[in-house]
Structure 1
Amino acid sequence: MPFIEESDLLALHKDIDKAQIINERLLDQIKFKNKELKRSKIQRNIFAGITALFLVGILAITSFTAGYTSSNKIDDPNLVVASLDSLKIVESRINNLKRQNEELSLVREFYLAKNFLEKQKIYSVQIQSFVDNNVTLASEALTNTLFVKTNPYYSYSLGTFETLEEAQEFRKQLVSMGFNDAFVASYQDGKRLQIEDPF
Structure 2
Amino acid sequence: MWGWASRVSLATVATVGWAACLTGLSAGSVFRTLGIYGAVATVGLMVSDRRPTMELLAPNRRVIMTGVLGGVLTAIATHLGYAFTLWIWPSFAAQTRCLFAVFEALPGSAASLHWLVLIIVAEEVLWRGAWVTILGARWSVVAVVVPTILYAIAQLASGLWLVGALALGCGLVWTVERLWTRSLLAPLITHLIWDLGVMVWIPIDIPGTC
Q: Provide the TM-score with structure 2 as the length reference.
A: 0.29
Q: Which has a greater percent of helix?
A: 2
Which of the pair has the greater relative contact order for Cα pairs under 8 Å at 6+ separation?
A: 2
TM-score, length-normalised on structure 1? 0.31
Q: Which structure's CA Rg is the greater one?
A: 1
